[in-house]
């Protein structure tokens, strides 16, 4: 999950700053911002998995604990309701919070099932569900040995995403649309042309718009693909999160983290 938090924290500084992004080779750590709703809700999903809570209960708990970290209007209205019901969203929120599912599940079938459950409290539109399933599946496939092209081909076939545009295409013709069906092709374009998690986060931010969420989703997949999270990266995440959020991250990693990522979490 560290890649998701890194993307959120680094990308938050550049959100909606369409003419400002890190230059190639810049120190992304030095330009790190703050955690947003992306990190909070990612922790909520992880907590639900760790402690066998309903996703709805966990989302509401964390949103009410952290009410002012950048939630969208419809989501805020849902969280404030006395009787919160799904509102058929297909925004990218279901995709940005799902990373824990891709790490915790033991099969692709289970991954798709649990990703759907994590989306449904709010994002019960078919595209909202597809977005969560696509990201979780990409993480599962990456951590179990699939390469970039295999992941792209699976997402195209399983979810009918059009994945022909390149990162350069999106950079030249920005698409500031915050739906799952718009964001996932951009993430795949970044994924295909990246060579590390930090490189992918940089390239995601360079596309502009909702940079924290785009980088969060991208980082969540490339972490599993490259297995390149370092202790310095974990330390940055810890320094930005509150102790209770970090506790969830540390517990989740201790239980589900990849053997390739044996980090000293008591930093």
Say if residues 97 and 216 touch (Cβ distance below 8 Å): no
Say if residues 97 and 42 touch (Cβ distance below 8 Å): yes
Tell me: pLDDT of 198 over 60: yes
> Looking up tokens 């997949």, which residue turns up?
221
The arithmetic mean of pLDDT across residues 235-241, rounded, is: 93
> Looking up tokens 């979490």, which residue turns up?
265
Measured between alpha carbons, how far is 102 from 186 in angstroms, rounded to an integer?
Answer: 19
The arithmetic mean of pLDDT across residues 215-239, rounded, is: 94
Q: Among residues of the chain, what percentage have pLDDT more than 70? A: 90
CA separation, residue 51 to residues 45, 48, 56, 63, 143 (Å)? 10, 5, 13, 17, 23
- For the entire predicted model, the pTM comes to 0.93
CATH 1.10.4080.10 assigned to domain 2-16+30-256? The reply is yes
Q: Where are the domains of the chain?
A: 2-16+30-256
Which of the pair, 166 or 18, is modelled with greater confidence? 166
Question: What's the distance, CA 103 to chain centroid?
Answer: 12
Measured between alpha carbons, how far is 185 from 200 in angstroms, rounded to an integer?
Answer: 14
């Amino acid at each position: 999950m560290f890649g998701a938090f890194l993307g959120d924290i680094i990308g938050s500084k550049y959100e909606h700053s369409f003419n400002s992004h890190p230059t190639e080779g810049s120190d992304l750590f030095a330009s790190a911002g703050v955690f947003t709703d992306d990190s909070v809700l990612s922790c909520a999903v992880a907590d639900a998995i760790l402690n066998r809570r309903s996703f709805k209960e966990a989302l509401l708990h964390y949103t009410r604990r952290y009410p002012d970290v950048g939630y969208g209007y419809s989501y805020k209205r849902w969280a404030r309701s006395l009787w919160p019901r799904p509102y058929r969203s297909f925004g990218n929120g279901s995709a940005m919070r799902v990373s824990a599912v891709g790490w915790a599940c033991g099969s692709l079938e289970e991954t798709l099932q649990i990703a759907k459950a994590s989306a449904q409290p709010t994002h019960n539109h078919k595209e909202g569900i597809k977005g969560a399933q696509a990201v979780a599946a990409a993480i599962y496939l990456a951590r179990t040995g699939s390469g970039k092209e295999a992941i792209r081909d699976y997402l195209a076939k399983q979810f009918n995403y059009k994945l022909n545009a390149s990162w350069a295409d999106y950079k030249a013709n920005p698409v500031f649309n915050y739906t799952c069906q718009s964001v996932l092709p951009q993430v795949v374009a970044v994924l295909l042309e990246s060579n590390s998690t930090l490189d992918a986060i940089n390239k995601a931010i360079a596309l502009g718009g909702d940079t924290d969420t785009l980088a969060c989703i991208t980082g969540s997949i490339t972490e599993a693909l490259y297995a390149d999270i370092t202790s310095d990266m974990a330390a940055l995440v810890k320094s930005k999160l509150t102790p209770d959020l970090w506790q969830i991250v540390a517990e989740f990693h201790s239980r589900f983290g990849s053997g390739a990522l044996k980090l000293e979490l008591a930093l």
